[in-house]
């Protein structure tokens, strides 16, 4: 138990006069394999030591009260009704998950809950996926539905796709639910087979620099990228092999042979995805043999692809990457997650982090007027009941 969970336990008890179950679920980083999860490729995420906490217990009626400590709001919910909850988007993440159980024919015992956490919201560290994962996990336990962690990750993804209308892939929920301390997980998003890799960074640490911006484009452009990838895949199925399972597995030679027939933008999107999947696989080999230098170089190459071919970066992210990647104490630097804001992920030698942060925040403030935030994170376990 830690301070945060003690606090919501107390709040839950004061409000509902009963003791809750407390579930913790992490945010995530992704080392490499960006924008390939919905293209059936490989990703390398990890759960981190920043979490969402959910205190939950059955209510004794047909309705429940849900409380968000961080937004200082509460809503009364009638179970079995699935309508948007204007002004309380945080509660829609919970409701979307409840709805998915109903869609599977599983009626959920009405519950009260309190939510809080220390994952920065809107920074691209998947606080929403952590909440959805925590709720899915808690409902599964409370109702003894016996669903596997993989099924819960899929259910949480569908909640985000259907109730929230964001066509995200499965990476964020999967990482939150399956994370393992001191490990990254290499996930095949086509089959959902996964493998844990020990993460030995030696003198280096995972450092996130938060742009402090989230451009409005993020959801709409995300969905556009998905459509462009689907267009590319349909082309390769038609002209090369109708059984190719996904875009990540398209050979680069097919793409190069199609330059004159493919829309140039779609061509670039496909090039990025195919190259990123290959880069990710060889980055895993670097990690296996402890070649952190080459691993870092690939991270930075991913940023170039996301910036120039996939076009999901933004000037703030580019500024933060450009300012640090060439420093000798930095193994690699790139934007992370969906893009258009959020954080960069960097592998930086521990003893220079404070100095680098001081210099970078001055430059960033000068350039954008924004105070740069930094999070030094370590890997953590996946969704769990902590009390």
What are all long-range contacts of 201-205, with beta carbons under 8 Å and residues at least 24 apart?
201/292, 201/347, 202/292, 203/349, 203/350, 203/351, 204/292, 204/331, 204/347, 204/348, 204/349, 204/350, 205/347, 205/348, 205/349, 205/350, 205/353, 205/376, 205/378
Partners of 348 in the beta sheet? Answer: 205, 330
Single residue of 67, 95, 131, 168 touching ligand GLA by CB under 6 A: 168
Q: Is 276 in the site for ligand GLA (CB under 6 A)?
A: no
Number of residues engaging ligand GLA in binding (CB under 6 A): 10
Q: Is 232 in the site for ligand GLA (CB under 6 A)?
A: no
Among the listed residues 172, 318, 322, 355, the single catalytic one is 172
Partners of 133 in the beta sheet? Answer: none
Q: Is 332 in the site for ligand GLA (CB under 6 A)?
A: no
Single residue of 25, 29, 37, 335 touching ligand GLA by CB under 6 A: 37
Q: How far is the CB of 166 from ligand GLA (least distance, A)?
A: 7
Contact by Cβ (8 Å): 34, 124:
no
- Cα 300 to Cα 295: distance, rounded to the nearest angstrom: 9
Q: Is 334 in the site for ligand GLA (CB under 6 A)?
A: no
Q: Which range in 31-39, 65-73, 96-104, 376-384 contacts ligand GLA by CB under 6 A?
A: 31-39
Contact by Cβ (8 Å): 56, 20:
yes
How far, in whole angstroms, is CA 190 from its chain's centroid?
17
CB nearer to ligand GLA: pick between 113 and 229: 229
Single residue of 169, 212, 332, 341 touching ligand GLA by CB under 6 A: 169
Q: Is 153 in the site for ligand GLA (CB under 6 A)?
A: no
Q: How far is the CB of 169 from ligand GLA (least distance, A)?
A: 3
Binding mask of the shown chain, residues 82 to 111, with x at each position contacting ligand GLA by CB under 6 A: ------------------------------
How many other C-beta atoms lie within 10 A of the C-beta of residue 243?
6
Q: Reply yes or no on whether 172 is catalytic.
A: yes
Strand order in the sheet with 204-214: 330-335, 341-349, 204-214, 373-377
Catalytically annotated residues: 172
Which residues would be at the binding site for ligand GLA (CB under 6 A)?
Answer: 34-35, 37-38, 168-169, 171-172, 337-338
């Amino acid at each position: 138990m830690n301070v945060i969970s003690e606090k919501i336990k107390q709040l839950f008890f004061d409000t509902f006069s009963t003791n809750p179950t407390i579930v913790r679920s992490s945010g995530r980083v992704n080392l490499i394999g960006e924008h390939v999860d919905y293209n059936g490729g490989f990703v390398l995420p990890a759960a981190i030591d920043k979490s969402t906490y959910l205190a939950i217990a059955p209510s004794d009626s047909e309705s429940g009260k849900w409380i968000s400590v961080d937004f200082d709001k509460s809503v009364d919910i009638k179970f079995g009704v699935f309508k948007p909850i204007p002004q309380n988007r945080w509660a829609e993440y919970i409701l979307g998950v409840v709805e998915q159980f109903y869609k599977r024919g599983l009626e959920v015992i009405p519950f009260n809950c309190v939510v809080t956490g220390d994952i920065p919201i809107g920074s691209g560290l998947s606080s929403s996926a952590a909440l959805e994962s925590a709720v899915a996990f808690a409902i599964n336990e409370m109702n003894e539905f016996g669903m596997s962690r993989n099924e819960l990750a899929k259910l949480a993804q569908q909640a985000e796709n259907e109730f929230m209308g964001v066509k995200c892939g499965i990476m964020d929920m999967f990482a939150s639910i399956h994370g393992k301390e001191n490990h990254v997980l290499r996930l095949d998003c086509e089959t959902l087979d996964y493998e844990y890799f020990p993460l030995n960074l030696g003198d280096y640490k995972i450092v996130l620099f938060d742009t402090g911006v989230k451009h409005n484009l993020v959801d709409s452009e995300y969905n556009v990228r998905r459509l462009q990838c689907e267009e590319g895949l349909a082309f390769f199925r038609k002209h090369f092999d109708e059984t190719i399972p996904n875009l990540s597995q398209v050979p680069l030679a097919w793409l190069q042979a199609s330059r004159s027939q493919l829309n140039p933008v779609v061509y670039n999107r496909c090039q990025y995805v195919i190259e990123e999947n290959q880069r990710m696989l060889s980055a895993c080999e670097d990690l296996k043999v402890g070649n952190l230098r080459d691993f870092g170089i690939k991270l930075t190459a991913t940023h170039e692809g996301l910036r120039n071919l996939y076009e999901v970066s933004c000037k703030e992210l580019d500024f933060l990457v450009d300012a640090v990647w060439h420093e000798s104490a930095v193994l690699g630097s790139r934007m992370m997650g969906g893009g258009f804001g959020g954080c960069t992920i960097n592998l930086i030698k521990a003893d220079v982090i404070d100095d680098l942060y001081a210099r970078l925040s001055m430059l960033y403030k000068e350039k954008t007027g924004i105070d740069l935030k930094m999070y030094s994170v370590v890997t953590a376990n996946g969704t769990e009941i902590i009390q």
